[in-house]
Amino acid sequence: MRQRLLGRVAVARGKWRALPPNLRGALWVLLAAVFFSSMGALIKALGDRLDSFQIAFFRSLFGLFAILPFVIRGRWHAFYTRRMGMHFGRAALGVVAMFCGFYALTHMALADVVAISFTRPLFLIVLAVLLLGEGFKPKRWLATAVGFIGVLIIVQPGGEAFEDVALIALFGALLVAFIKVMVKKLSATESSPTILLYFGLFASLLSLGPALWVWRDPTWLELGLLFMVGALGAVAQVCTIRGLRIAEATAVMPFDYARLLFAGLIGLVVFGEVPGWWSLLGALVIVASTFFVARMEARDYAAESGPSEARATTISTTPSDTNTTTERGLRKRPYQDGAKPSATARTSSMNTPK
C-alpha cells in the first residue's frame, strides 16, 4: 500500500513538472486566490467591531506565528539574509496596503473591493517591465487590459464605488503591485520562509502603534478568526511566492482575477450580497481574458521548447542544481520545489558564464 501510494505521488510530481513554468505559476496563484478570498471574508466579518488597524496587527502577528514552525524545522536558517533593507521596505509598504484594503473591506461590498483591487495588474505590468526587465508582449498586455475593462464594467465609473473609500482601495492596489515586484526580486535570492518571516516581524512592529491607538479587547471567537486571517494570509503568500518564483509576473498575475469569482460567491452566501447583471458580465470578461492568457502561454512554451527540453522538465531536480539568470541581475541559487525557471530565464542563462 505504501509503495503504491509513493508511486502515485511520483507520477503526480512528474506530471506537475512536465507542465510549462508559467502554467504551474498560474495554478499557484489560483490557489492563493482561494485563500485570499477566504481571508477577505473573515476581515469583513471582524470589521463590524474591530478597527482596521487592529485587524492588520493581528494579521501580521498571527501570520508570523503560522510561519514559525517552518522556520524551526529549517533550523532557523530563515533568519539568514543579506537584503534586510528590502525586507523592511516590503513590510512597510505591506502594512500601508493592508490598512487600505482592510478599511475598504469593512466599508464596501466584498465584490466591489476585489474588483477595484484588480487594477493592480495594470500597475504590475508597467513595474515588471521597468524594474524586472521582463519583455514587452502585446498580447499579454491586451489580455490584461481586457480584464481591466471587465473590472470597469463591474464597478461602473460614476457610481458609489468611486467614492473616497474606493480611492483608498485603489491606492492599496498600487502598493500591492509594487510589493509583487519586490517579492519577485526577493524570491530570486531568499527562501519563502525568509520572506514571510521578516514580513511578519517588521509588519507586526510597524502596525503595533496604530493598533494600540484604536485597541478593543477581542473576544475568544474574534481571536480565533484573527488567527485564521493570519494563517490564510501566510499560506496565500507562500502560494504567490512560489508562483512568482517559477514564472514571469506578467504571465501569472492575471489569474488572480479568479478572486472576483470567489469573492462574489462568498458575498452571496455569507453576506447576502447579490451580484447584478453588470457584475456577472464583468466577471465573464475577466475569466475570458485569463483563459486567453493561459492558452497563449501554453502555445508559446510548446513552440519555444524542443522535444528534449520538454522531456527534461519531467526530471526531478536536486538541491545541487542551480539557475543563473542574467537579464535581471539575480545571483545563482538552487531550484526550489522542483521548479524549473521560466522559458525566458532558461534562455538567458545559457549565455551566462558559469
- What pLDDT sits at residue 158? 61
- What pLDDT sits at residue 349? 34
Q: What does the DSSP assignment read for 314-347? A: TSPP-TT-EE---TT-PPPEE--TTPPPPHHHHH
Give this prediction's pTM.
Answer: 0.67
User: Cell 487590459 maps to which residue?
Assistant: 145
For residues 288-298, average pLDDT:
69
Phi, psi for 323 (deg, rounded to 5)? -130, 115
For residues 120-124, average pLDDT:
72
DSSP 306: -
- Residue 329 pLDDT class (50, 70, 90 cuts): very low
CA–CA dist 244, 93 (Å, integer) = 19
Half-sphere exposure of 283 (CA within 13 A, CB side): 17
pLDDT higher for 118 or 204?
204
pLDDT digits (tens, 9 = 90+) for 177-186: 888 888 888 8
Half-sphere exposure of 119 (CA within 13 A, CB side): 18
pLDDT higher for 32 or 302?
32
CA–CA dist 167, 304 (Å, integer) = 42
Neighbours of 280 (CB within 10 A): 12
- What pLDDT sits at residue 353? 36
Smallest CA-to-CA distance from 109 within 268, 316, 237, 247 is with 268
pLDDT higher for 139 or 337?
139
- What pLDDT sits at residue 302? 65
For residues 145-162, average pLDDT:
70
pLDDT of 119 strictly over 70: yes
Residues in the chain: 354
In percent, the amount of the chain with pLDDT more than 90 equals: 16
pLDDT of 166 strictly over 80: no
- What pLDDT sits at residue 351? 37
pLDDT of 264 strictly over 50: yes
- Residue 16 pLDDT class (50, 70, 90 cuts): confident
- What pLDDT sits at residue 55? 92
- What pLDDT sits at residue 258? 81
E strands along 176-223, which residues?
none
CA–CA dist 348, 116 (Å, integer) = 36
- What pLDDT sits at residue 343? 39
pLDDT higher for 254 or 24?
24
Q: What does the DSSP assignment read for 272-313? A: -----HHHHHHHHHHHHHHHHHHHHHHHHHHHH--HHHHHHT
pLDDT digits (tens, 9 = 90+) for 42-68: 999 998 889 999 999 998 888 888 888
